[in-house]
Structure 1
Amino acid sequence: MGSTRDLTRRRVLAGSATLAGAAVASGACSLFGDGDPPVPPPPPPPDALEPLLAETRALAALYQAALTAHPNLADRLTPPLEAHTAHAAALTEIMSPTPSAPASTVASAAPTAATTSPAQETLAALRAAEQTGRETAATACATAPPERAALLGSIAAARATHAEVLS
């Protein structure tokens, strides 16, 4: 019985050593890159301010187009254009992840009655865009976390002021 017992113990030890060696070898392969590659984490979701930023960029582009078409309105159009450009920069700074480059779409002014001049039509279209933009900014401000609310409230107030200046 003693020799059978030793033989069984030897077999168990030898089998255990073989299994341990196989486990180490298979683990070592994955350590050296032979295993499956790690799965990258998913990209972060877009920032909730993306639509407001896009609208801000569109307003700036609309002002730029209006200024190009009506240089005689520079005294009325330049301050809002500069404000929208500054707002886009401020929004970009607080957003995470950093937003992509601006889209090159420019909103066009809707034609109005034939009794108005092209400059008056442009001002009316800008005023309507500012009113819509004010509503968007006010909604964003109301739903934003406190650290963003001050900037968004400032943007909403500026847009309301722009609409009045264009009247």
Structure 2
Amino acid sequence: MGKRDNGRTRREAFGVAAALGTAAWTVTTVAGCGLLGDDSEPAPAPDPLQPILDEALGLVTAYDRAMATQPDLRDRLAPLRADHHAHATALAGLIGTDLPSSAPAAPAAAASAGTDAVSGLRRAEKQAHQSAVAACTKAPADRVMLVGSVAACRATHTEALHR
């Protein structure tokens, strides 16, 4: 085997080409598995109904707090709290997530549960109703029934707390 014009034999040229190909494949493989820090898959976007789920859980907490500070309201508030827990369970199932083990903070409008539990809950329900209505107008067809039901229930709670 003689030397080519560039001073290499055909065998040497093939060896260099094979080595370069192997190196390129190795870099591609390593980069593809994340070892080089190139994480090509972005984190999934949060579900658009997550804020409605968070509000439902916050309302559950607000009702729990109100019933703890004013036990005489338990009979009146327990069914409303149960509705929000049912909403949270249904929303979590629709989103494909588990309910958190720790309760989120109660909505700001219900923070005064110790002094005037009912009016604080009414304000929280009204705010949560507005959020649910806004989410309902943007929800896809397969989700609109549940979100609409949540919005209607929150409106009913607002009125029930006026008594």
Instruction: Output the TM-score relative to the length of structure 1.
Output: 0.75
Percent identity over the alignment is 34
Query: Per the alignment, do residues 46 and 133 of structure 1 end up closer, same or farther by CA in structure 2, a change over 3 Å counting?
Result: same
Deviations 1:70-106 (A, max 9, x none): 221122101110011111111111125x378355423
Tell me, in whole angstroms, the C-alpha distance in 2 between the residues paired with 1:130 and 1:28. Answer: 59
Query: Per the alignment, do residues 23 and 52 of structure 1 end up closer, same or farther by CA in structure 2, a change over 3 Å counting?
Result: same
2:54 maps to which residue? 54
Tell me, in whole angstroms, the C-alpha distance in 2 between the residues paired with 1:155 and 1:131. Answer: 12
How many residue pairs get aligned? The number is 151
Describe the SS at the equivalent of 1:7.
Answer: coil
2:128 maps to which residue? 133
2:150 maps to which residue? 155
Unaligned 5+ runs, structure 2 = none
Unaligned 5+ runs, structure 1 = 1-5, 112-117
Supply the RMSD in Å over aligned alpha carbons: 2.8
Contact kept, 8 Å, 1:76 with 1:165, in 2: the verdict is no
Describe the SS at the equivalent of 1:68.
Answer: helix
Paired letter, 2:145: A
Describe the SS at the equivalent of 1:45.
Answer: coil
Query: Per the alignment, do residues 46 and 99 of structure 1 end up closer, same or farther by CA in structure 2, a change over 3 Å counting?
Result: farther
Which range moved further: 53-62 or 36-45?
A: 36-45
Paired letter, 1:75: D
Deviations 1:36-75 (A, max 9, x none): 4533322101111222122111111110111111221122
Tell me, in whole angstroms, the C-alpha distance in 2 between the residues paired with 1:134 and 1:25. Answer: 61
Query: In structure 2, which of residues 109, 112, 125 is the aligned counterpart of residue 109 of structure 1?
Result: 112
Q: CA deviation at 1:25?
A: 4.2
Paired letter, 2:112: A
Q: CA deviation at 1:142?
A: 0.7
Tell me, in whole angstroms, the C-alpha distance in 2 between the residues paired with 1:45 and 1:86. Answer: 25
Instruction: Output the TM-score relative to the length of structure 2.
Output: 0.77
